[in-house]
Amino acid sequence: MEDVQRIAKDVVETVAPYLEDVRVKVNTSCSQLEGWQIIAYTFGLTLILVSIYNFLFDEEKSLKARVKKSFFKFVKNLPIVKGMIQKEVDKNAKGVQESFQNATGGMPYVVQLPKKGMSEQQIMKELDKYQAMVEIDWSKGNVSGAVYNGSNELTEIITKAYKKFAWTNPLHPDLFPDIRKMEAEVVRMCCTMFNGDDNSCGTVTSGGTESILLACLAYRNMAKERGIRYPEIIAPITVHAAFDKAADFFHMKLTHIPVDPKTCKVDVNKMRRAINKNTCMLVGSAPQFPHGSIDNLEAIGALGVRYNVPVHTDCCLGGFLVPFMEKAGFDVPIVDFRVPGVTSISADTHKYGFAPKGSSVILYRNTEYRRGQFFVQPDWPGGIYASPTLAGNRAGAIIASCWASMMHFGEDGYVETTRKIIETTRYIADKLSKIEGIYVLGKPDVSVVAIASNDFNIFRLSDAMNGLGYSLSALQFPSSIHLCVTLLHTKPGAADTFLNNVRTCAAKIMKDPNAKCGGIGAIYGMSQSIPDRSMVSQIVGLFLDACYNTKDPEDSDKKVQKTNGVH
């Protein structure tokens, strides 16, 4: 955008000598016109100029992104290219479908309701068959993130809480005062954890993504009130994709700010320079998902105060670690409501809060911000409709289970799990940094360790680890992989077994560092080099389609192909 403006300026300077000419010509040609005609033409021309200006600068997506998109759309519609793409797409689709079918062991799909309902016993027998499909044993700490606790004791507690409140629904606070109280208490306990004062508030949501969507929605609505057409989010490039989703859903612009390549923390100076009249929020992560470093939220908060822009702390991942780190004996930067500019915080109870999936909280400094996410339709024939979050009816049972987890652990419990998890992460990071051929990216401030390599394609390492029953997360730009440490990795021996396996795999790869990479590595290698990102989206769409495939395999003895690595 700045480039375009600079070019426009150059053009103006070179045409200046011609302007005099133009003036004379305009005057001569206008000498025949009547006053009303001049007014009408001026009006018409202004309209055209305003539309051109809007097309160039005042759109949701930058001009560069729109030009690029149109160009690729044009190329992709050329018949020869179209054919080639279709062939590639079909091949990919088939591969993904086959791998899913292999994973379900060729068990036929249920495609209609059973004619006769099943007894509990029959259902349980069926469910056991489904459960037998699982191959990777997450309970041994082989998986990055995904399952954060998994203990039998906690499973008992949360399922008992679920059972008690199975039919509750916070949409009806009059019917279910119990669940209303519990939701309010979950929010308040979190506000206290993040050092919010009496004015701090929030809601329980269905997950981190919803918490983030709601914060963006609230700030968008506040910006719209002030007359901003395309409110703009300014966030680090490492921020969670849920912010891209929010920008997409709510017609906002998202400007990504680069991070320092050494620390992987956002460059706050660049963030400051990106602030403009459309900016409706700044974001920092604590920590960010890819490399696990905590952005400098005190500096971002200061920008927020100085430019009067709300600041969101994405503490989805760190929600139940960061608030306990100090008590667990670790240094940790301040990222919560104690930072003057921070106006909202997202924290996932369903990650390190160990609640079942489907719960998170969004917190605000005061109710004015929270009001931005509420939806009220006063004119609906179905009654005055009001809902605090994206959903209408909500599962009270999930809130009850979340409440039960939090009450079960208590502050001491979370301090203890935090101590174990951070200690294990730092131990793993330290040992990984000593393995030849790989290096640790940024500084693992909390529970994530990301590694990359200057000597070989790092995805070969993740393929090799897959072969040993591990599942690590693939990252891109730059190519890297990470382990998100959960309570399961803190079990005695789990970290050392992991490290030994990495050591062995890396040593093997180092014997022939330039060998070709197959599997997930080949996919990520290829996908990162495709300039038309919409192609990648198209292919990933096939993956999502395949998740819902219920056609039985044509021939089930096709070779097994793994497809993990896409979140």
Ligand X SMILES: *Cc1c(COP(=O)(O)O)cnc(C)c1O
Q: Nearest approach, Cβ of 350 to ligand X (angstroms)?
A: 6
List the structure tokens of 388.
Answer: 């605090």
Q: Does 208 contact ligand X by CB under 6 A?
A: yes
- One symbol per residue from 491 to 510: x for binding ligand X (CB under 6 A), - otherwise; what is it? --------------------
Q: Does 348 contact ligand X by CB under 6 A?
A: yes
Q: Does 207 contact ligand X by CB under 6 A?
A: yes
Asked whether the beta carbons of 75 and 531 are under 8 A apart, the reply is no
- One symbol per residue from 148 to 187: x for binding ligand X (CB under 6 A), - otherwise; what is it? ----------------------------------------
Q: Does 266 contact ligand X by CB under 6 A?
A: no
- DSSP conformation class of 362: E
Query: How many residues are given for the chain?
Result: 567
- The residue range among 121-129, 311-319, 367-375, 547-555 that interacts with ligand X, by the rule CB under 6 A, is 311-319
Q: Report CA 14 to chain centroid distance, whole Å.
A: 46
List the structure tokens of 550.
Answer: 């219920």
Sheet holding 232-236, edge to edge: 201-205, 360-364, 342-347, 311-315, 279-285, 232-236, 253-257
CA separation for the pair 285, 342 (Å, rounded): 12
Among 154, 204, 242, 506, binds ligand X (CB under 6 A): 242
Q: Does 445 contact ligand X by CB under 6 A?
A: no
Q: Nearest approach, Cβ of 136 to ligand X (angstroms)?
A: 19
Q: Does 359 contact ligand X by CB under 6 A?
A: no
Q: Nearest approach, Cβ of 475 to ligand X (angstroms)?
A: 13
Q: Does 289 contact ligand X by CB under 6 A?
A: yes
Q: Nearest approach, Cβ of 484 to ligand X (angstroms)?
A: 8
- The residue range among 85-93, 116-124, 282-290, 486-494 that interacts with ligand X, by the rule CB under 6 A, is 282-290
- The residue range among 23-31, 40-48, 312-320, 506-514 that interacts with ligand X, by the rule CB under 6 A, is 312-320
Nearer to ligand X among residue 474 and residue 517 (C-beta):
474
- Which 3 state secondary structure label does DSSP give 329? coil
Per the DSSP assignment, residues forming a β-bridge with 484 are 448
Q: What is the DSSP string of 46-115?
A: HHHHHHHHHHHHSSSS-HHHHHHHHHHHHHHHSHHHHHHHHHHHHHHHHHHHHHHHHHTTTPPPP-S--S
Among 142, 149, 209, 471, binds ligand X (CB under 6 A): 209
CA separation for the pair 468, 501 (Å, rounded): 8
- One symbol per residue from 212 to 241: x for binding ligand X (CB under 6 A), - otherwise; what is it? x---------------------------x-
Nearer to ligand X among residue 207 and residue 442 (C-beta):
207
**Residue environment code for 456-471, b if the CB has 16+ CB neighbours within 10 A, otherwise e:** bbbbbbbbbbbeeebb
Q: Report CA 329 to chain centroid distance, whole Å.
A: 29
Nearer to ligand X among residue 207 and residue 310 (C-beta):
207
Using Cβ positions, the residue closest to ligand X within the complex turns out to be 208
Asked whether the beta carbons of 252 and 232 are under 8 A apart, the reply is yes
Task: Give the total of residues touching ligand X (CB under 6 A).
Answer: 14
Nearer to ligand X among residue 211 and residue 457 (C-beta):
211
Q: Does 546 contact ligand X by CB under 6 A?
A: no
Q: Does 314 contact ligand X by CB under 6 A?
A: yes
Q: What is the DSSP string of 405-467?
A: HHHHHHHHHHHHHHHHHHHHHHHHHHHHTTSTT-EE-S---SSEEEEE-SSS-HHHHHHHHHH
Asked whether the beta carbons of 331 and 319 are under 8 A apart, the reply is no
Asked whether the beta carbons of 431 and 506 are under 8 A apart, the reply is no
Q: Does 285 contact ligand X by CB under 6 A?
A: yes
- One symbol per residue from 505 to 544: x for binding ligand X (CB under 6 A), - otherwise; what is it? ----------------------------------------
Nearer to ligand X among residue 95 and residue 150 (C-beta):
150
- The residue range among 74-82, 207-215, 248-256, 410-418 that interacts with ligand X, by the rule CB under 6 A, is 207-215
Among 161, 233, 264, 317, binds ligand X (CB under 6 A): 317
Helix-helix angle 519-529:458-467, to 10 degrees: 150
Nearer to ligand X among residue 314 and residue 463 (C-beta):
314
Rule CB under 6 A: which residues touch ligand X? Answer: 207-209, 212, 240, 242, 285, 288-289, 314, 316-317, 348, 360
